[in-house]
Structure 1
Amino acid sequence: MANSRSTEQPAWQRNPVFEFFASLKLAVVLLAVMIVAAIAGTIYESSFDAKVARAYVYGAPWFNIWLVLLGANLACSALSRWPWRKHHTAFLITHLGIITLLFGSLIGRIWGIEGTITLFKGEPPTNRLLVNERQLRVHDIDGMVKGYPAEFLHHPPSPQHPRDLGLLASGARLQIVDYAPAIEGKLNPKPASDGGAPASAEASPGRPALHFNIATAMMNQHLDGWLLADDSQHGNFSMGLANIELKRGAVSVSSSNGRDDSPSRPLSESEAIPKDQAVELEESIFAFSKAPDEQIGHVAKGGSTGAKVRLLPPTNGNKGELAILLDGKESRIDVGANLGREIGIDDTLFTLKIRDYWPDFRIENGKPSSISDQPNNPAVLVTIRGRGVPAAASPDAHGTGKFATANPSIGGQMNATGGPPAMPVPGEETPNHLTLFIADDGTITYELASRKNGKSSGKIELNKPLPTGWADWQLIVDQTMPSALPHMDFIPIKSEQTTMSSSAAADLPDGVRVRVQQNGETFEQWAPAGWQIAIPTSPDATLVAYGWKTISLPIGLELLDFQVKRNEGSDSPAGFKSTLRVVTPDGETATGACWMNNPFSFPGAWWRTWTGLTYKISQASWNPDNLGQSTVQILRDPGWLLKWIGSLLVVIGVFMMFYLRPYRKQTEGEPITPSVPNEEVKREAPLVSAPVL
């Protein structure tokens, strides 16, 4: 019977190539590899991120080939049952569903679009979509902007094994010769007479510049940098709790040398509270082991608690102890045993939570960090909460105006107005501020504001230290330029070379080192992400930029409004919504809103939505510091409908096979195999007559 069945099959079904693609063995191998790949992709995604999983598995070329092979196997398996019978219906529907699902997935992977656009209120519509892929863009001398893939998750280029990108229009050869996961940019201005690259129109033709050093022996930290006068980008230097600024001119003499007590000055929260009224207080305090008198506080609610917090030096490998003076009583708390816990302060109505601890405290990019695990400069951040009278209004029970210290290790006495100097509230200028002025004749003067010493002003001589009053920080100006143009030096930060904290390094952009060879000359320069550099080729400079891949959409988006809904009784956001206008080159416009889990689609015709030929716009993120900014995600998947149809067909086919009796009959006949003797066919009959799905 098997031989007669085999002879009845069309010749194309007996073709060895067809038999190979229709074989059950191939299906088992394909499915087994896909299962292993799915497991590997899940591990990669959980251990690293989705981008790594896409690069090695889901977005790799071999995975697309594997999907095509699986589709071919399913199609040939279905065709091997030709001519089809009624009991083949469920089998065919299931296979057709899987093939349709795979086909829709391939269409979405190849022609789909997914990326983000950051919009700003008041700006014109934009169609530049950022895709989660790195790219090197070159503005060639022929006016063309060329993009080259620059993803380096594995096998990054090196000087010994550069990535060759080919020839440019000028005949120069372009290569990527190195990659760095973090690049630090430092301003190194050039004299205006030597040319340079103005960063913006406002920076041309040249501005006064000076170079300064600021150091602290107590924290064993040294910082330096250049400042350009009255430059919005390069005229400020932030140390986190202190700022340095450079302006043209000379210091202005002001009669005000303290706090503004004019009637128009708004009262602070603690000043507005009646002096004898107890309220809820909340205060955060920085304390430094090497600077016990330099604690820094920030009042979050009610007013200052009046607490004096000192971090005692670590001993025997511990993190040290906190010595807290509050309401005339002293308490000791072990830092290591209570880190992250909220505990009560003995004999008071207040609680204390140790929020963070840095064994080797440094300010990196304006943020507190630790550059090592050694207790070279311990610091701690605590939050104190409780109900009481704000310290600024608290009367001294002894009438002396001071609290006595209960322990000599705490030291001295504390003013009854007490508590640490306040940190600035959001949007308020930091109290520790140094403004430098440079006159046309090169004279340098300053205005200095310090929490510790108040305000002062004067003249600065080159190479002479200026005590700032910020702990033991001292500033030295060692170089000036009467007219300078901005120029950036980019320095790669390799993991084996840097002493920078991981959090600070994470804020730095990655970058590539570009090499251009032309007429026997070689030019090399680092290009950090988000920056554009100019390489001096002839006849004109070649502009190179490294960053996210951009795609021009056929639609433009404009942010009309951005709203943030707050939780009742607090400032925490409950949700945010963007109101957008979509424009097309034909002049068509549409207005819609998107918020979390509520996308806005354009065009809005139902048939476009059902076929996936629409742009789905979803709320992606927002900037709490700028409510005129919103980031939206754009998704377009032309294979969307096929994936849904395929999934539905699979469900229908499986249901028919298991629950509808007419379609549960076992498929008759033999699989496509070469003719064999009858005895072998009979011996193998139980095996070959097994149902095939």
Structure 2
Amino acid sequence: MEIAIHLEGAILIAEDVDLPMARSNPSEQLGWQRNPVFEFFASLKLAVVLLGVLIVAAIAGTIWESSFDAKVARAYVYGAPWFNFWLVLLVVNLAASALSRWPWKKYHLAFLITHLGIITLLAGSLIGRVFGTEGTITLFKGEPPTNRLLVNERQLRVHDVDGIIKGYAAEFLHHPPNPQHPRDLGTLASGARLQIVEYAAAVAANLNPKPLAEGGAPAVHFIISTAMMNQRLENWLLADDPEHGKFSMGLANIELKHGTAELGRDGAPRRPSSTSKNEEIDLEESIFAFSKAPDEQIGHVRKGGSTGAKIRLEPPEHGSKGRVLVSLGENETSFDVAENLGREVKIDNLPFTLKIEDYWPDFRIENGKPRSVTDQANNPAVLVTISGKAVPASAPTTENPHGEMPTTSGPAAMPPTGAETPNRLTLFVADDGAITYQLASRKAGKSSGKIDINPATAGLPTGWADWQLKIDKVLPHAEAQTDFTPVNAENIPSAADLPDGLRVRLEQNGRTIEQWVAAGWQVTIPTTPNPTMIAYGWKIVPLPIGLELLDFEVKRNEGSDTPASFKSTLRVTSAEGASATGSCWMNHPFSFPGSALHTWTGQTYKISQASWNPENLDQSTVQILRDPGWLLKWIGSLLVVIGVFMMFYLQPYRKQTEGEPILPIAKVEEQTRETSLVSAER
């Protein structure tokens, strides 16, 4: 419907050009044309008001869309009921304006064509909006065809006890429900009353294992904390569970397995090769440095090998961001963080350049990612990249007493994507509940032992800076159960990555059950005679066609891993058995059915490449668009252009009215009466 906003100029032109066509003698008008209601809807004043409001709304919608997103603009402007009502008034005004010229003359033709074009365009937009289809489908290579289209609308889906899946609109951009004013969704087949009690913009999912008498898997609750960062993390782990058996801290992993660790020294140490090359090669290394832990740094070799550089971050003073000290051999250079953030600068007397990639005044690890929780310099950290051409730093020849060798004389190298992190802790829970561990640390090497289940005792030093781990709960038999809790998005930076959620309430037989449901999740609520399953997420619309991903290709720029383009090859099948195979890539959609009749009437499905998953090249997301009002929009636009051209450039369709001023109807009637009186007196 946004197209209609751009027509105000054409409408005003049509009205202004046709002003001379208005009758100066009301006696020529028909009775229904002199009706006050009809005159109101046909008036130019109403058109000006309608267009003025639409222009202001279009400006507001554009600002909201750029400041927030398209959903906000649709909710408050383009998709709001008042906007639809306003457009209907505009159509009525255009139709009444055209009828006010009845009976039509030849010079009315351009005016009528213009108005008909605008009405046709608005009708096409309305048809496309009501009966059209737009959404996305994520496909996986090797899976059967699917017709489940995800639409950009939130929906609460309930799998009722009668086997029917019921959908309820759940968009809460304005006026979200609250405990005082819940949204009542009615009564389910089980007799339970369903309500949406509350909406949260961010909901965290936490594993809360359910104890079992027997069976299931062991579960352990641990607490790991650091005094340096003033941070405390806790979580449940379920033994040997692919989803809940690991906890990632980004630079370290914790895993729980069923069994007992091998106590004692874990094999012979790995020694580096005694041979080395003195050839200069391209080196690139990224290094984390911490102000409160000057001896702790974490490096990631991106190219060639380690530079051997030692990075230290001096504590910030007087509101500054501190200085980075780069030491290599006898050379030491200092750089101001604020002045050089994001810049690539040369390191004096060394064949390297330095770039300060990022700075965190209050460093924390959340969801495996570095973040700054405040703007205060409570735990400053910096990430720098050093690159240049030199001989890689050689590994030391001294053996680590814990049985592990550092990789270089510089900072320990971060593992590549998909590789096992050198900082890892594997916990083992035995049948009798005893806990043993195997610990690997870049700093402390490898070790193993037993852990007492006693929160009062000192924790296990991990060797990962000053992180210490304690175990306070053990369940010998448990099954996975997830609890959802709302979080304050303003106070937790990582909340931006969390899904939104709803708190639903079910009332049945005098019993009330409330539970949070996060977007993309499904929960089961115990009701009689059968449990009720509730899911919250994007609205799912079944299509009359099925899509299957046959192949997905990614072309990369020569000499790099940067993708140049990606293409999906699809097979589309209709319910009638018709099928077609085609490919779509950026700006090159694939249409089904592809006949000219279906295309021109807007009955075809246009399939475009939407996105892809770099970590899974057997996955592709495509956009589906079907607009049955497409032809009317084009016809309407063409009629507007033709009508305006005729009014301005074709003489037969322009009525000449020089010397004939247009007067209001009341004034004309007054002059007519005066003329009649003068004639009577004569």
Asked if 1:454 is matched to 2:445, the reply is yes
Residue identity in the other structure for 2:130? I
Tell me which of 417, 426, 429 is aligned to 1:426: 417
Cα distance in 2 for partners of 1:126, 1:455 equals: 49
SS at match of 2:51: helix
Tell me which of 654, 657, 660 is aligned to 2:650: 660
Asked if 1:366 is matched to 2:356, the reply is no
SS at match of 1:251: coil
Residue identity in the other structure for 1:424? P
User: Counterpart in 1 of 2:567?
Assistant: 577
- Structure 2 vs 1, CA of residues 565 and 681 (structure 1 numbering), >3 Å: closer, same or farther? farther
Counterparts in 2 of 1:531-680, with a 5 A limit?
531-666=521-656, 673=665, 677-679=669-671
SS at match of 1:84: coil
- Structure 2 vs 1, CA of residues 53 and 96 (structure 1 numbering), >3 Å: closer, same or farther? same
Cα distance in 1 for partners of 2:569, 2:212 equals: 46
Tell me which of 112, 133, 143 is aligned to 1:92: 112
User: Counterpart in 2 of 1:226?
Assistant: 236
Residue identity in the other structure for 2:363? F
Residue identity in the other structure for 2:203? I
Post-superposition shift, 1:672?
Answer: 9.7
Tell me which of 336, 339, 344 is aligned to 2:338: 336
Cα distance in 2 for partners of 1:290, 1:595 equals: 50
User: Counterpart in 1 of 2:326?
Assistant: 324
Residue identity in the other structure for 1:540? N
SS at match of 2:412: coil
SS at match of 2:235: strand
Cα distance in 2 for partners of 1:609, 1:257 equals: 70
Post-superposition shift, 1:10?
Answer: 3.2
TM-score of the superposition, structure 1-length normalised? 0.88
On the 8 A contact 1:208/1:480 being kept in 2, the answer is yes
Cα distance in 1 for partners of 2:672, 2:102 equals: 25
User: Counterpart in 1 of 2:478?
Assistant: 484
Post-superposition shift, 1:51?
Answer: 0.8
Post-superposition shift, 1:252?
Answer: 4.6
Report Cα offsets for 1:520-552 as digits up to 9, x if no partner.
222111111111112222222221111111111
- Structure 2 vs 1, CA of residues 3 and 442 (structure 1 numbering), >3 Å: closer, same or farther? closer
SS at match of 2:90: helix
User: Counterpart in 2 of 1:307?
Assistant: 309
Counterparts in 2 of 1:189-588, with a 5 A limit?
189-193=209-213, 205-252=215-262, 256-259=267-270, 275-392=277-394, 417-463=408-454, 464=457, 465-495=459-489, 498=491, 500-501=492-493, 504-588=494-578
SS at match of 1:35: helix
Post-superposition shift, 1:137?
Answer: 1.0
Asked if 1:75 is matched to 2:85, the reply is no
Supply the RMSD in Å over aligned alpha carbons. Answer: 2.6
Residue identity in the other structure for 1:285? I
- Structure 2 vs 1, CA of residues 305 and 6 (structure 1 numbering), >3 Å: closer, same or farther? same
Residue identity in the other structure for 2:333? S
User: Counterpart in 1 of 2:11?
Assistant: none
Cα distance in 2 for partners of 1:439, 1:675 equals: 102
Report Cα offsets for 1:108-133 as digits up to 9, x if no partner.
11111111111111111111111111
TM-score of the superposition, structure 2-length normalised? 0.90
Q: Among the aligned pairs, what percent are the same residue?
A: 71
Cα distance in 2 for partners of 1:670, 1:13 equals: 18
SS at match of 2:609: strand
Counterparts in 2 of 1:105-144, with a 5 A limit?
105-144=125-164
Residue identity in the other structure for 1:96? L
SS at match of 2:83: helix
Residue identity in the other structure for 2:96? C
SS at match of 2:484: strand
- Following TM superposition, the consecutive aligned residue runs of length 4 or more in structure 1 with deviations greater than 4 angstroms are 1-5, 252-255, 666-676, 680-683
On the 8 A contact 2:549/2:569 being kept in 1, the answer is yes
Report Cα offsets for 1:430-474 as digits up to 9, x if no partner.
111111122222222222221112222222222352221111111
- Structure 2 vs 1, CA of residues 98 and 422 (structure 1 numbering), >3 Å: closer, same or farther? same
On the 8 A contact 1:282/1:385 being kept in 2, the answer is yes
Post-superposition shift, 1:393?
Answer: 7.3
Cα distance in 1 for partners of 2:295, 2:22 equals: 97
Cα distance in 2 for partners of 1:35, 1:6 equals: 33
On the 8 A contact 1:80/1:672 being kept in 2, the answer is no
Cα distance in 1 for partners of 2:390, 2:197 equals: 63
Cα distance in 1 for partners of 2:665, 2:172 equals: 47
Cα distance in 2 for partners of 1:662, 1:304 equals: 83
On the 8 A contact 2:25/2:669 being kept in 1, the answer is no
On the 8 A contact 1:257/1:455 being kept in 2, the answer is no
- Structure 2 vs 1, CA of residues 556 and 682 (structure 1 numbering), >3 Å: closer, same or farther? farther
SS at match of 1:174: strand
On the 8 A contact 1:14/1:672 being kept in 2, the answer is no
Cα distance in 1 for partners of 2:255, 2:418 equals: 17
SS at match of 1:469: coil
- Structure 2 vs 1, CA of residues 581 and 416 (structure 1 numbering), >3 Å: closer, same or farther? closer
SS at match of 2:623: strand
- Structure 2 vs 1, CA of residues 208 and 666 (structure 1 numbering), >3 Å: closer, same or farther? farther
Cα distance in 2 for partners of 1:120, 1:216 equals: 42
Post-superposition shift, 1:153?
Answer: 0.9
After TM superposition, the structure 1 stretch with the greater mean CA deviation from structure 2, 372-381 or 459-468, is 459-468
- Structure 2 vs 1, CA of residues 655 and 539 (structure 1 numbering), >3 Å: closer, same or farther? same
On the 8 A contact 1:257/1:456 being kept in 2, the answer is no
Cα distance in 2 for partners of 1:674, 1:440 equals: 100
On the 8 A contact 1:304/1:390 being kept in 2, the answer is yes
- Structure 2 vs 1, CA of residues 416 and 599 (structure 1 numbering), >3 Å: closer, same or farther? closer
SS at match of 1:677: helix
Post-superposition shift, 1:31?
Answer: 0.7
Tell me which of 54, 58, 83 is aligned to 1:34: 54
- Structure 2 vs 1, CA of residues 610 and 416 (structure 1 numbering), >3 Å: closer, same or farther? closer
Cα distance in 2 for partners of 1:627, 1:335 equals: 39
Residue identity in the other structure for 2:222? F
Residue identity in the other structure for 1:437? F
